[in-house]
Amino acid sequence: MADQTPSGENLLFLTDEQLRKGIEAMFFAYRGFTADPDRILEGMDYGRAHHRAVHFIHRSPGTTVSNLLTILGVTKQSLNRVLRTLIEEGLVEARVGRRDKRERHLHLTTKGQELERVLSDAQRARMRAAYRAAGPQAVAGFRQVLEAMMDPELRRQYQGLKESGA
């Protein structure tokens, strides 16, 4: 940015040292990111996997098991174990599809919505504090870098969520 080559930017932000710092920042920040929900969930019968399922069912009500499998990137056996407990304990309702009766459309019950809110409140509170501390311009950059870091297929999933969720 200070000089004028064709690819004219200052590339100091691409040094190995800068990249390593970015890697470590991701590591430590992700710990913070999951810390609050983890604390809330410990003691309940649930874990991080339940949180993720509840989050995305909240985000896309009526989504199918297949959809959720794609978004979460786990095996159906792994997801099934989680969904089963959520359904048994009345947090999630699985409605048989009208058009295709093989499909299960997933919805949060009132109880499920309550858990989602508690978890999401905690996570958003941390996010909000970080956003506020860093400012809107930093937030825009944060989102840009994270999007660029995703696998293309996951980026599409993510962007699909953005549209439907807006």
Applying CB under 8 A, the site for a copy of itself has a residue count of: 66
Q: Is position 144 an interface residue for a copy of itself (rule: CB under 8 A)? A: yes
Binding mask 81-120 for DNA (x = CB under 7 A): xxxx---------x-x--xxxxxx----------------
Least distance (Å) between residue 59 CB and a copy of itself:
7
Applying CB under 7 A, the site for DNA has a residue count of: 31
Q: In which residue are the tokens 């995305």 written?
A: 56
Q: Distance (Å, rounded) from C-alpha 25 to C-alpha 62?
A: 36
The count of C-alpha atoms lying within 13 angstroms of the C-alpha of 112, restricted to the half-sphere facing its C-beta, is 26
Q: Which residues share a beta bridge with 93?
A: 107
Q: Is position 137 an interface residue for a copy of itself (rule: CB under 8 A)? A: yes
Q: Is position 110 an interface residue for a copy of itself (rule: CB under 8 A)? A: no
Which token pair is 40? 């809330």
Q: Distance (Å, rounded) from C-alpha 53 to C-alpha 59?
A: 10
Which token pair is 29? 């920040």
Which token pair is 2? 């200070």
Q: Which of 8, 22, 32, 47 binds DNA (CB under 7 A)?
A: 47
Q: In which residue are the tokens 């430590």 written?
A: 28
Amino acid at 93: E
Q: Which residues bind DNA (CB under 7 A)?
A: 45-50, 52, 64-66, 69, 73-84, 94, 96, 99-104
Q: Which residues bind a copy of itself (CB under 8 A)?
A: 1, 9-10, 12-14, 16-33, 35, 52, 55, 59, 73, 120, 123-124, 126-151, 154-155, 157-158, 161-162, 165-166
